Amino acid sequence: MTHSGTMRALLITADSSLMVMFVNVLTELGIGARAGLADEEVSEELNRAQYEGIVVDFGTVSNAAVIMAAVRQSPSNKSAVLFAVATEVDHTEQALEARAHFLLRRPVETATIRQTLRAAYDLMLTERRSHFRSAVKIPVLLTRRALRISFECSTLNVSSNGIAVTSPFSLKLAEQVDIALFLPNGPAVHATGIVIWDDKHGRSGMHFHCRTPEMRQKLDSWLDLLFAASPGPRIDSSA
């Protein structure tokens, strides 16, 4: 899944005033917001999209604890920073049991939301970095293990554990491949991968593991440079 350049938060609440306060502060910090989902849409959204932060309002959402559990089990959002808003004592207990990272108790004011989001900003940034995927074109040498065929292609995007490529061949799902990524200014990074999608029109995606810790560190250092140069705000979370 390709992730956009801007951090995003999902707001799950039926409290319109709370929603407006969160959206205003998120916008102020340069964080995108998705809000106003019906209960039946939440699970689909968690499967469809990736968020760095998720706000669950235990005071207005009847199945808040269930939603928190669903977030923890979501492949795309299980590491998102979780914010819980509580009204009653039992809501607070439920939120703590669900392992919310941050807890806000009603009445909630804009200043409290701003302080909380600033405190959480670095955690959300770390989460974004963990699934950062750069749309960069570099040469790749792929070897199809079963066929013992090697060929050159180019990346469409690169992350710390996956790539999408343009290829002269269609690849088979679950096919094992050896990968050599030719990063700028240095020897190739070698990895072992498996094909996870192929559109039959010259584009394929694969998950991979670098062969040595040194190669993983080299790839991550290069991605860190790209991440630092990517669009998006940076704030001093201690301010």
The residues spanned by each domain of the chain are 8-130, 139-229
Tokens encoding 138: 């570099």
CATH number for 8-130 (one of 3.40.50.2300, 3.40.640.10, 2.40.128.20, 3.40.720.10): it is 3.40.50.2300
Phi, psi for residue 198 in degrees, rounded to 5: -150, 125
Q: Give the contacts of 157 (CB within 8 A, at least 6 positions apart).
A: 2, 133, 134, 135, 136, 163, 164
Q: Look at residue 37 in the predicted model and tell me its pLDDT.
A: 84
- Architecture of the domain defined by 139-229: Beta Barrel (2.40)
Q: Look at residue 82 in the predicted model and tell me its pLDDT.
A: 95
Long-range contacts of 196-202 (CB under 8 A, 24+ apart): 196/162, 197/173, 198/170, 198/171, 198/172, 198/173, 200/170, 202/166, 202/167, 202/168, 202/170
Q: What is the pLDDT of residues 137-154, one digit of tens each?
A: 999 999 999 999 999 999
Average pLDDT over residues 45-61: 90
* Most confident listed range (59-63, 70-74, 189-193): 189-193
Average pLDDT over residues 196-219: 92
Q: Look at residue 5 in the predicted model and tell me its pLDDT.
A: 52
pLDDT-derived band at 108, boundaries 50, 70, 90:
very high
Q: Look at residue 217 in the predicted model and tell me its pLDDT.
A: 87
Residue reference for tokens 């920073």: 81
